[in-house]
Structure 1
Amino acid sequence: MKLRHLLLWSALGFILSCKNEVHLNKIEGQRISISDSIESKTDIEAFIKPFRERVTKDLDNVLAYASDTYSKTDGELNTAIGNFMADAVYLESNPIFKKRTGNSIDMVLLNHGGIRAIISKGNISARTAYEIMPFDNEVVIIAMKGIKVKELIRFLAERKRAHPISKLKLTLDQDYNISEASINGKSIDDSKTYYVATSDFLYEGGDRMTFFKPNEGVENLDYKLRNLFIDHFKKIDTLSPTIDNRFTRLKK
Structure 2
Amino acid sequence: MDLKIQHFVIFVTITCLSACNDAPQKLSKISGQQLPITDSINVTDSIDIFVAPYRSRVNEVLDSTLAYAPKQITKNDGKYNTSAGNLMADIILSEANPIFKSRTGNDIDFVISNHGGIRSIISKGKVSARTAYEVMPFENSIVVVAIKGKSVRDLISFLINANSPHPIAGMQIVLNNNETLKDVNIQGLPFDENRTYYVATSNYLADGGDDMGFFRDDINPVDLNYLIRNAMIDYFKKVDTLRAKVDDRFIKIE
Whether TM exceeds 0.5 here: the answer is yes
Contact 1:63–1:233 (CA under 8 A) maintained in structure 2? yes
For the residue of structure 2 that corresponds to 1:238, the secondary structure is coil
1:82 to 85, 95, 116: 85
Letter in 1 for 2:110: M
Task: Give 1:148 deviation, angstroms.
Answer: 1.5
- For 1:26-45, what aligned pairs fall within 5 Å after superposition? 34-45=37-48
Alignment of 1:70-219 (within 5 A): 70-219=73-222
Supply the distance in 2 between the matched residues of 1:126 and 1:7 (Cα, whole angstroms).
73
Alignment-mate amino acid for residue 186 of structure 2:
I
How far the C-alpha of 1:201 sits from its partner, in A, is 0.5
229, 232, 247: which one aligns with 1:244: 247
Distance 1:3 1:52, change over 3 A: closer
Letter in 2 for 1:200: N
Count of residue correspondences: 251
Rounded to whole Å, the distance in 1 between the matches of 2:29 and 2:172 is: 67
Closer, same or farther in 2 for the Cα pair 1:113/1:26, shift >3 Å? Answer: closer
* Cα drift, residue 48 of structure 1: 0.7
Task: Sort the Cα spacing of 1:10 and 1:95 in 2 relative to 1 into closer, same or farther, 3 A.
Answer: closer
| Post-superposition offset of 1:173 | 2.2
How far apart are residue 172 of structure 1 and its match? 1.6
Classify 1:35/1:238 alpha carbon distance in 2 versus 1 (closer, same or farther; 3 Å): same
1:83 and 1:166 in contact (8 A); partners too:
yes
Deviation at 1:214, TM superposition (A): 1.2
**Deviation by residue 1:216-252 (Cα, 9 ceiling, x = unmatched):** 221111100000000000111111211111101222x
1:56-95: per-residue Cα shift (whole Å, max 9, x none)?
0011000001010111110000001111111111111111
Cα separation, 1, equivalents of 2:13 and 2:75:
79
CA gap 1:26/1:244 in 2 versus in 1, 3 angstroms: closer
Kindly provide the amino acid, as one letter, of the partner of residue 167 in structure 1. Answer: G
Displacement of 1:209: 0.4
Query: Match of 2:140, as an amino acid?
Result: N
Q: By how many angstroms is 1:45 displaced? A: 1.4
Q: Is the 8 A contact 1:147 1:189 kept in 2?
A: no
How far the C-alpha of 1:24 sits from its partner, in A, is 10
Runs of 5+ consecutive residues of structure 2 not aligned to the other structure: none
Q: Distance in 1 between matches of 2:147 and 2:31?
A: 60
Counterparts of 1:185 and 1:30, CA distance in 2: 59
Task: State the distance in 2 between where 1:30 and 1:165 align.
Answer: 46
